[in-house]
Amino acid sequence: MRIKLEQRHASSLLWQGMSYGLAILAGFAATAVLLKLSSADVSTAFAALLRGAFGSQRAVLRTLVDATPLILTGLAALVVFRARIWSIGQEGQVYAGAMGAYWVASSLPDAPLFVVGPLAMAGAILGGATMSGIAAVLRNRYEVNEIFSTVMLNYIVVYLLSWLLSGGPWTEAGTTVAYHQTPLLAQSAWLPQLSGPLHAGLLIAIAAAISVHLLLERTSAGYDMRALGANQTALRFMGMDVPRIVLVTMLLSGALAGLAGGVELLGVQHRLKADYLFGLGYGGIIVAMVGGLRPAGTVAVAILFGGLSSGAVDMRIQSGVPDSLIQAMQGTILLFVLCGTALARYRLTWSSAK
Amino acid sequence: MTVALQASGLSKRYGDVVALDDVSLEIHAGEIHCLFGENGAGKSTLSGCLYGYVQPDSGELAIDVKPVKLRSPAEALRFGIGMIHQHFKLVGRLSVIENVLVGAGGRGLFLDTKTARRRLAELCSDYGVELSPDAIVEELPVGLQQWVEIIKVLFLGVRILILDEPTAVLTPQESDRLMAALERMRDAGMAIVLISHKLREVMRSDRVTVLRAGKLVASLRTAETSPEELSVLMVGRKVSPSYDHNREAPGEIVLDLNDVYVNGERGHRVLDGLSIQVRSHEIVGLAGVAGNGQRELFETIMRVRPLEAGRISIDGKDVTASSTRDVIDLGVGHIPDDRYLQGLIGSFTIADNIVLGRHHDCAFRKGPFLDRKAISSFATDRMSEYRVAARDSAARVDRLSGGNAQKVILARELQRSTSLLLANQPTRGLDVGVIDYVYRQLLAKKSEGFGILLASEELDDLMTLCDRIAVIHRGKIVGVVEPAATTPQHLGLMMAGQAIPGGDARAH
């Protein structure tokens, strides 16, 4: 028996959708095995997960709250990956965005929301874009591979924040250093609530998704980014300014990731603490990949993953499964989706050897 | 005469495309059998089936009248079938003998180099090749690298040798030597399958099989046919190559390269003090064996590649320090040798490719948004003007045939250039009909007053189109001749590096 991979010449949209669905199911199945191994009751755990994610109005709202920053970091990853720029700096850019927003909001404690809100978001954008801008300049000027520069910048920002919060200027006064957090921001800087825990950040994220879609598919700047991803050499031969396109794309990506940090700060946490932001950037990479590097897919997957993380709390309470299992589950889903894309592009053929 | 390899009823589809349609043929021992046809006619698919790396959808193979199934090249090799690809499968850093032994696969831990060296020396003297077993392969000229590839296969004792366009990388003299060696192999009883679209080589074979659109059109004894009959069989109609040559006096200098030095990626010299001039109303040919600096020359003129020293001016304007965009804005069109790498974005539509580089122009934009309507109507006009055959302007470029892809590039580059055209291998991989079309387009541009720099590995292109032919060797122009006053043999000697005294590319 011989098994061979053959390239498919036309892969239908239906087949692609099916392979994605199959991949997500396979991710759940693999997680079931993990649950079994940690001797939890699989059906109780999954039921709790589902209820916690989508089981009630409150659960749905919590899911959307968790999805909001993932939509933005997912879009940030999508933009660079579509241009084949392998920036994985979204994690650091989220931190930098939250820091930018905090700096603006804490400097204007008495300003009304319509002043401090937009300014803080601008601070978030600036924070994220600065980080990605540095990586872009390093790539354009000194040919530094963006994978290395963005990973290193992630460390720098994370440790910068950790210094600021543990004895640095932003440490909450009067508490022990062990909390590693800033004081709460004035209520005037909080994003308005839409319903229950759901805040206006979701609208920002949805608007960003629509804008990214229009930008990529309909504008000449988006043409540049897609063309950069498809064939950089041809762009150079056509006299396009490739370094400029790289810079613009990375600035946009950093701005989106920074916005995620700002939205999370002003919408949910209202104070700066490293734990709150951890994993949003890396999560965005998974969301964008599983979402097929499309804005609509990214939003859908962000909501799915938001559901997983908000349902994880119920799962832990009702079946004692640690919620870190959810991260393992997200990881397995990504692996299966990557296999699924291979399945959509290739087919297995069997032949019996004589 | 014994049948070495027999194929019957081979068919292969790729999606909607029928690559091979019920093809049957016999390869005899002691015969040079030529597979002849246009690009896309099915030659490569057929040879892939014979060598085991393409699995036919239906049909059978038989070796020495015994039915076999070839599932991989390794199996084909076990049955005594070897293949020489256009792109060599050699390990550049290793020596000749090591490459030969890599193919042979060692028994036990140690390579038996002593016997291998003896065999290698025998094979070399049999075919009159001078090949030192310890030479490092990447340091050998292309012609000798090909011999390493051939000897590697002979070493395994193959009886059937398939060669895929082996002369594409050779000078005319090297090609002659290769053909003579193939004839000796034939006389020793081997079966040789030669894939080619060059009539000159085809006429030296014993039998020729003509393929067209995946079908076997004819299988003939070469002695009983003629080049004329074969070319009619290949394209399915008669082509009459006669071109109006407007031999006007050349005008102003539009392109002037003066003592240009350029380095390659690994820091070695690729253009070594090259000077050349092109005037308006003139086509200057660039003849040379692939890899002698042609591609780098075009990249340098397009200002994609930095100069070490020297000066370039276009239309009297110094562009040595200019950007690619400046050069394009001066009215320069560029037809690159690697269409899908330098000229097109494969996953984009025809329309997007036709406006590539101009998609920021006001004509194609409404504010920040692309004006899809304007773009597609512009593209549709260009498609009918340049006879691009496709469903509509929204078809993806990487689904087009080579000829149509080239026409998309022509539609973009000819339409917007105004004074100078740089064409690197513009007929590569195209069939006779499209080549004819490209010829006419270039000649029309010439009579409009363009200066054209045309590099081609097909000497026919240069002899037909050019007013002057400059020969490039190791990044230098080694001589300039007029087509009427030269022969392919003479050009071949120059391409091999024999400087002709007084050779100079400047306009006289």
pLDDT score at B172: 79
Q: For residue B68, give how far its alpha carbon lies from the nearest alpha carbon of chain A (Å).
A: 11
Please list the pLDDT of chain B residue by residue as tens digits (508 residues): 688 899 999 998 877 677 889 999 999 999 999 998 877 788 888 998 999 888 899 999 998 888 888 888 888 888 999 999 877 888 888 888 888 887 666 555 556 678 888 888 888 888 888 888 888 888 887 788 888 988 888 888 899 999 988 887 787 788 888 899 999 999 999 999 999 877 778 888 999 999 888 889 889 899 898 888 887 888 776 555 667 666 678 889 999 999 999 998 777 889 999 999 999 999 999 998 878 899 999 999 999 999 999 999 999 999 999 999 999 999 999 999 888 899 999 999 999 999 999 999 999 999 999 999 999 999 999 999 998 888 889 999 988 888 899 999 999 999 989 999 999 999 887 877 888 899 999 999 999 999 999 999 888 889 889 999 999 988 999 999 998 888 888 888 888 776 555 444 444 4
Chain A residues with CB under 8 Å of B14 CB are 9
Q: Which two tokens stand for residue B247?
A: 């031999």
Which of the pair, A180 or B409, is modelled with greater confidence?
Answer: B409
Mean per-residue pLDDT for A262-291? 91
Output the pTM of the full model. 0.78
Q: For residue A9, give how far its alpha carbon lies from the nearest alpha carbon of chain B (Å).
A: 5
Closest chain A residue to B398, measured at CA: A230
Give yes or no for residue A259 having a pLDDT over 50.
yes
pLDDT score at A294: 93
Task: Tell me the residue length of chain B.
Answer: 508
Instruction: Name which of A8, A237, A252 to mutate to probe chain B: the one with the most chain B Cβ atoms within 10 A of its Cβ.
Output: A237
CA B193/CA A296 separation, integer angstroms? 53
CA nearest B53: which of A175, A314, A232, A6? A6
Residue A11 amino acid letter:
S
CA B108/CA B274 separation, integer angstroms? 52
pLDDT score at B505: 46
Give yes or no for residue A354 having a pLDDT over 50.
no
Is B280 in contact with B452 (CB distance < 8 Å)? Answer: no
Q: Which two tokens stand for residue A195?
A: 């319903």
B357 to A239: CB separation less than 8 angstroms, yes or no: yes
A69-105, pLDDT tens digit by residue?
A: 999 999 999 999 999 999 999 999 999 999 999 999 9
Specify which residues B469 forms β-bridges with. B285, B481
Cβ–Cβ pairs < 8 A, chains A and B? 72
Angle at A295 between CA A289 and CA A300, to 5 degrees: 75
A10 to B15: CB separation less than 8 angstroms, yes or no: yes
B348 to A2: CB separation less than 8 angstroms, yes or no: no
A125-138, pLDDT tens digit by residue?
A: 999 999 999 999 99
Is A104 in contact with A123 (CB distance < 8 Å)? Answer: yes
Task: Tell me the residue length of chain A.
Answer: 354
Q: Which two tokens stand for residue B508?
A: 């006289």
Give yes or no for residue A267 having a pLDDT over 60.
yes
Measured N-to-C along each axis, helices A220-230 and A242-264 cross at an angle, to the nearest 10 degrees, of 110
Instruction: Annotate B441-499 with three-state secondary structure.
Output: HHHHHHHHCCEEEEECCCHHHHHHHCCEEEEEECCEEEEEECHHHCCHHHHHHHHCCCC
Q: Which two tokens stand for residue A119?
A: 């300014």
pLDDT score at B330: 95
Q: For residue A8, give how far its alpha carbon lies from the nearest alpha carbon of chain B (Å).
A: 8
pLDDT score at A207: 98
Of A2, A230, A236, the CB nearest to B345: A230
Of B325, B341, B345, the CB nearest to A227: B345
Task: Give the single-character DSSP code of B364.
Answer: G
Which residues are within 8 A (CB) of A35 and not within 5 positions of it... i.e. 6 or more apart?
A: A41, A42, A45, A46, A321, A325
Put simply, the chain A residues between 231 and 270 with a CB less than 8 A from any chain B CB are: 231, 233-241
A238 to B328: CB separation less than 8 angstroms, yes or no: yes
Residues of B with CB under 8 A from a CB of A: 14-16, 69, 71, 302, 304, 323-329, 334, 336, 340-348, 352, 356-357, 359-360, 364-365, 368-370
Chain A residues with CB under 8 Å of B323 CB are 239
Give yes or no for residue A11 having a pLDDT over 70.
no
Q: For residue A229, give how far its alpha carbon lies from the nearest alpha carbon of chain B (Å).
A: 10
Q: For residue A172, give how far its alpha carbon lies from the nearest alpha carbon of chain B (Å).
A: 45
Closest chain A residue to B302, measured at CA: A237
CA B121/CA B504 separation, integer angstroms? 42
Distances (CA, A) of B191 to A102, A301, B58, B89, B149: 79, 59, 24, 22, 17
Put simply, the chain A residues between 9 and 38 with a CB less than 8 A from any chain B CB are: 9-10
Mean per-residue pLDDT for A222-235? 95
For the four alpha carbons of A137, A143, A147 and A150, in that order, the dihedral sign comes to negative
Chain A residues with CB under 8 Å of B408 CB are none
Q: For residue A180, give how far its alpha carbon lies from the nearest alpha carbon of chain B (Å).
A: 45
Specify which residues B14 forms β-bridges with. B17
Residue A7 touches partner B, C-beta closer than 8 Å: no
Position of tokens 């939003």? A299
Of B328, B340, B352, the CB nearest to A239: B328
Mean per-residue pLDDT for A161-173? 82
Closest chain B residue to A8, measured at CA: B15
Task: Quote the mean pLDDT of chain A.
Answer: 88
Give yes or no for residue A16 having a pLDDT over 80.
no
CB neighbour class for B126 (10 Å; exposed up to 12, middle 13-18, buried from 19): middle
Chain B residues with CB under 8 Å of A230 CB are 345-348
Instruction: Name which of A15, A211, A223 to mutate to probe chain B: the one with the most chain B Cβ atoms within 10 A of its Cβ.
Output: A223
pLDDT score at A28: 87
Q: For residue B446, give how far its alpha carbon lies from the nearest alpha carbon of chain A (Å).
A: 23
A238 to B14: CB separation less than 8 angstroms, yes or no: no
% of chain A with per-residue pLDDT over 70? 92
Give yes or no for residue A8 having a pLDDT over 70.
no
Instruction: Name which of A218, A220, A248 to mutate to probe chain B: the one with the most chain B Cβ atoms within 10 A of its Cβ.
Output: A220
Which residues are within 8 A (CB) of A177 and not within 5 positions of it... i.e. 6 or more apart?
A: A166, A167, A171
pLDDT score at B508: 41
